[in-house]
């Protein structure tokens, strides 16, 4: 058996480390290349001491042709804008790409450029790239050259909302998504705001009504459900490394919570990572895994959906491995269960 050869572009961050960590346990894939301008010349293990003794892949400056020549697929963990440029170059050298940035997630170029405040480097590709959520798009992912890996918050909202909107069990307006994320979602660059003593023992709302994952949630739920939805999205920074819990307030549409639970169970019966549960899930229940737990509670006119994921796993690198498995014809759960 030949293993899938994986490259990691932008190897210094937490999602890159999580990709490497997960691939250590994958029986049919391996990291063969890694890039970072800042760490050129070091190995992955030197940048991430948790890989010591396990991963001496050298980090090089990114050259699309060189990387494409070594890899079957590149996990592109670069910031938005920079990522699209790199994805473009990689695709031209015939390597498949899983893009962790938001550059190809949205349907609309206009919405992208408004919310991200940049000119898109590869505008003609926007709206034509599959969204990397195998629960809904496995067939397209299987043959894609580029997969837009989903955002972390959107994953925790799209999965519970989409089937309920599609089936007409809930109203499409006045949906409130109150999300709580661990600090790893803020990345690994040196900033006062994410120092230990700033975020520890504290919870805070941020970007109220103005976070970029808001339009991503609206876009994808609308696309999957075939009906335009509008959500009010509020993220919170929570004192923990990993995990997202989204508490979602929806208006019932004459249907019971039991029907909602059944709708979700039916939708995800064939999805190995999505568990519709009776208990109220906590982020710890899925920490370090690619699993999703969700439930529904009745509150009069409204129902409350609670969904938890690990933001670095199902919210980023785990989903990327899941996508890679689908792209290369492996069982979806390989190396993840």
Helix axis angle for 152-166 and 257-267, nearest 10°, is 110
Quick one: 142 or 304, whose CB is closer to a second copy?
304
4 touches 73 (CB < 8 A): yes
Site for a second copy in 183-222 (CB under 8 A): 183-184, 188-192, 194-206, 208-209
Nearer to a second copy, 61 or 173 (CB): 173
Q: Does 101 bind a second copy (CB under 8 A)?
A: no
Q: Which residues are catalytic?
A: 152
**C-alpha–C-alpha distance, residues 104 and 167, integer Å:** 27
- Return the residues of window 45-84 that contact a second copy according to CB under 8 A: 49-50, 52-54
Instruction: Tell the burial category of 170 from Cβ atoms under 10 Å away from its Cβ (0-12, 13-18, 19+).
Output: buried
Backbone angles phi and psi of 218, in degrees to 5: -60, -45
Question: Least Å distance between CB 46 and a second copy?
Answer: 9
For tokens 């737990």, the residue is: 293
Select from 5, 223, 255, 285 the one that contacts a second copy (CB under 8 A): 285
User: Which window, 77-85, 155-163, 281-289, 322-330, contacts a second copy (CB under 8 A)?
Assistant: 281-289
User: Is 287 an interacting residue with respect to a second copy (CB under 8 A)?
Assistant: yes
Separation of alpha carbons 307 and 94, rounded Å:
37
> In the complex with a second copy, which residue's Cβ is closer, 118 or 203?
203
CB of 128 to a second copy, least distance (A): 30
- Whichever of 45 and 109 has its CB closer to a second copy, that residue is 45
Scan residues 305-334 and list those touching a second copy (CB under 8 A): 306
Q: Take residue 31 and report the two structure tokens written for it.
A: 């990291």
Phi, psi of 108 (to 5 degrees): -115, 125
């Amino acid at each position: 058996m030949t293993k899938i050869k994986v490259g990691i572009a932008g190897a210094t961050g937490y999602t890159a480390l999580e990709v490497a960590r997960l691939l250590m346990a994958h029986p049919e894939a391996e990291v063969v290349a890694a890039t970072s301008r800042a760490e050129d010349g070091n190995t992955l293990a030197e940048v991430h001491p948790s890989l010591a003794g396990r991963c001496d892949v050298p980090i090089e400056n990114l050259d699309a042709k060189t990387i494409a020549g070594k890899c079957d697929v590149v996990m592109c963990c670069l910031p938005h804008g920079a990522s699209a440029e790199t994805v473009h170059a990689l695709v031209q050298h015939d390597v498949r790409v899983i893009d962790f940035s938001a550059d190809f997630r949205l349907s609309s170029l206009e919405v992208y450029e408004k919310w991200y405040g940049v000119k898109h480097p590869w505008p003609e590709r926007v709206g034509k790239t599959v969204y990397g959520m195998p629960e809904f798009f496995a067939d397209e992912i299987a043959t894609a050259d580029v997969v837009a890996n989903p955002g972390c918050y959107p994953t925790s909202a799209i999965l519970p909302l989409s089937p309920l909107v599609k089936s007409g069990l809930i109203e499409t307006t006045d949906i409130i998504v109150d999300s709580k994320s661990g600090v790893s979602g803020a990345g690994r660059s040196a900033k006062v705001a994410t120092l230990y003593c700033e975020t520890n023992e504290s919870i805070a709302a941020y970007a109220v009504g103005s976070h970029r994952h808001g339009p991503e949630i609206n876009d994808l739920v609308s696309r999957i459900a075939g009906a335009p939805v509008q959500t009010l999205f509020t993220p919170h920074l929570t004192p923990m490394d990993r995990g997202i819990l989204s508490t979602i307030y929806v208006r019932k549409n004459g249907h019971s919570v039991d029907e909602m639970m059944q709708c979700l169970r039916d939708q995800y019966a064939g999805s190995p990572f999505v568990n519709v549960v009776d208990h109220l899930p906590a982020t710890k229940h899925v920490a370090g895994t690619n699993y999703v737990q969700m439930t529904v509670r009745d509150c009069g006119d409204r129902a409350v959906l609670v969904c938890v994921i690990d933001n670095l796993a199902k919210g980023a690198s785990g989903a990327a491995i899941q996508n890679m498995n689908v792209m290369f014809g492996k069982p979806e759960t390989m190396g993840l269960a």
